């Protein structure tokens, strides 16, 4: 299949491009490079032996999207493009609603105009809000997300449900990610955000390489075993494999589906720091800071539906996640 990847040069998009190419699909990467770099395209070529097509553009440009969909004869879309920092979304909610919601509507209108009826959406576990019970399963109610970023993900899920009701032939699979970390085994691609990282692991990696002074731990008074936040961390390559499985599913199934992608195990911030210390062979300084707005205490999923529906299971553990992140950081320091 020819697959358009919005946000295709980003962290998850680039790893998914590799998995798609290794599965015989042909990705076209579409990105405005606001939080990624174009040299990722060459890195993908080094891994796969072939350079994927790349178009620089914004998902709010419907005309450009229509042109790309037609010119590349796209069969399906994997929609990663979106702003994703929880803290920033609390400070700049309008930016998030414009980029994430208006951008998605533009994309869907372009897809409709070009008769492309298959979409895999990069959703998030934040749609569950503060969990009433753990592990989270897809039949649990989507709660009230604790931040505008999460609300945009939930709103897009609801837009896609409405679209599938109106157009029974449309296929929309919403993959609810838990916490993607790690890097490709080659060390050529990984999480490399512009500026100071918002996510834990790239921040820890930069402390390990001496670029940052200490790891910031936001809160140690949560109702968890060590007081720090607990999350379901998933290796980005496992996550990428999940998108290929979802694409295969969408080829033969119409309608809306939500699927959790996680390992089903929770790891605390302090446990993750300890695992990274093992990977890099040194102690890492950290400081306890006040809780961060919009964060919750604990979050992990049941990945049973992904196994049943998509035939997918996570293969990597926290040790591999940290080791691959450290390799990527060393190669890019």
pLDDT digits (tens, 9 = 90+) for 66-100: 999 999 999 999 999 999 988 899 999 999 999 99
Q: Are 114 and 234 in contact (CB under 8 A)?
A: no
pLDDT computed for residue 193 by the predictor: 81
- pLDDT of 146 over the 90 cut: no
Between residues 197 and 274, the one the model is more confident about: 274
DSSP 301: B
pLDDT computed for residue 194 by the predictor: 78
pLDDT computed for residue 189 by the predictor: 98
- Report yes or no on 153 lying in a domain: yes
Beta bridge partners of 218: 289
pLDDT class of 192 with cuts at 50, 70, 90: confident
How far apart are alpha carbons 64 and 221 in whole angstroms?
A: 48
Percent of the chain with pLDDT over 90: 93
The catalytic residue among 11, 128, 149, 249 is 149
What are the structure tokens assigned to 76, written together? Answer: 């399906």
CATH number of the domain where residue 126 is located:
3.40.50.720
pLDDT class of 111 with cuts at 50, 70, 90: very high
- pLDDT of 311 over the 90 cut: yes
Tell me which residue range forms the domain holding 101: 2-181+233-265+300-315
- Report yes or no on 187 lying in a domain: no
Q: Are 205 and 321 in contact (CB under 8 A)?
A: no
How many distinct structural domains can be found in the chain? 1
Percent of the chain with pLDDT over 70: 100
- Report yes or no on 154 lying in a domain: yes
Beta bridge partners of 118: 171
249 is catalytic: no
How far apart are alpha carbons 16 and 272 in whole angstroms?
A: 24
pLDDT computed for residue 86 by the predictor: 84
- pLDDT of 328 over the 90 cut: yes
How far apart are alpha carbons 81 and 59 in whole angstroms?
A: 7
Rounded to an integer, the average pLDDT of 15-42 is 97
- pLDDT of 160 over the 90 cut: yes
- Report yes or no on 124 lying in a domain: yes
Q: Are 275 and 234 in contact (CB under 8 A)?
A: no
- Report yes or no on 189 lying in a domain: no
Beta bridge partners of 5: 29, 78
Residue 166 has phi, psi (to 5 degrees) of: -75, -30
- Report yes or no on 49 lying in a domain: yes
- Report yes or no on 92 lying in a domain: yes
**Which residue is listed with tokens 């999480």?**
191
pLDDT class of 294 with cuts at 50, 70, 90: confident
What are the structure tokens assigned to 278, written together? Answer: 């093992």
DSSP 245: H
Q: Are 152 and 127 in contact (CB under 8 A)?
A: no
Q: Are 284 and 278 in contact (CB under 8 A)?
A: no
Q: Are 265 and 314 in contact (CB under 8 A)?
A: no
- Report yes or no on 27 lying in a domain: yes
Average per-residue pLDDT for the chain: 96
Among the residue ranges 7-11, 125-129, 236-240, the one predicted with the least confidence is 125-129
Q: What pTM was estimated for this model as a whole?
A: 0.96
């Amino acid at each position: 299949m020819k697959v358009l990847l919005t946000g295709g040069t980003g962290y998850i998009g680039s790893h998914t491009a590799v998995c798609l190419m290794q599965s015989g699909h042909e990705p076209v990467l579409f990105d405005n490079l606001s939080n990624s770099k174009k040299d990722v395209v060459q890195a993908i070529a080094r891994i796969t032996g072939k350079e994927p097509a790349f178009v620089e553009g914004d998902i709010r440009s419907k005309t450009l999207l229509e042109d790309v969909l037609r010119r590349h004869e796209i069969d399906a879309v994997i929609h990663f493009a979106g702003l994703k920092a929880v803290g920033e979304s609390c400070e700049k909610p309008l930016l998030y609603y414009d980029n994430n919601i208006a951008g998605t509507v533009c994309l869907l209108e372009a897809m409709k105009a070009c008769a492309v009826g298959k979409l895999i959406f990069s959703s998030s576990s934040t749609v569950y809000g503060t969990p009433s019970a753990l592990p989270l399963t897809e039949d649990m109610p989507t709660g009230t997300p604790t931040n505008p970023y999460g609300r945009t993900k939930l709103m897009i899920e609801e837009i896609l449900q409405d679209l599938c009701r109106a157009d029974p032939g449309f296929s929309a699979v919403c993959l609810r990610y838990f916490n993607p970390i790690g890097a490709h085994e080659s060390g050529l691609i990984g999480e490399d955000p512009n500026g100071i990282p918002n996510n834990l692991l790239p921040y820890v990696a930069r402390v390990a390489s001496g670029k940052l002074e200490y790891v910031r731990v936001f809160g140690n008074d949560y109702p968890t075993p060590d007081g720090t936040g607990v999350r379901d961390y998933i290796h980005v390559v496992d996550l990428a494999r999940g998108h290929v499985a979802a694409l295969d599913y969408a080829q033969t199934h119409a309608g809306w589906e939500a699927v959790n992608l996680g390992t089903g195990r929770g790891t605390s911030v302090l446990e993750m720091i300890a695992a990274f210390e093992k990977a890099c062979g040194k102690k890492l300084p950290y400081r306890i800071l006040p809780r961060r707005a919009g964060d919750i205490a604990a979050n992990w999923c049941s990945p049973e539906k992904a196994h049943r529906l998509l035939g997918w299971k996570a293969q990597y553990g926290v040790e591999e996640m940290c080791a691959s992140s450290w390799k990527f950081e060393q190669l890019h320091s």
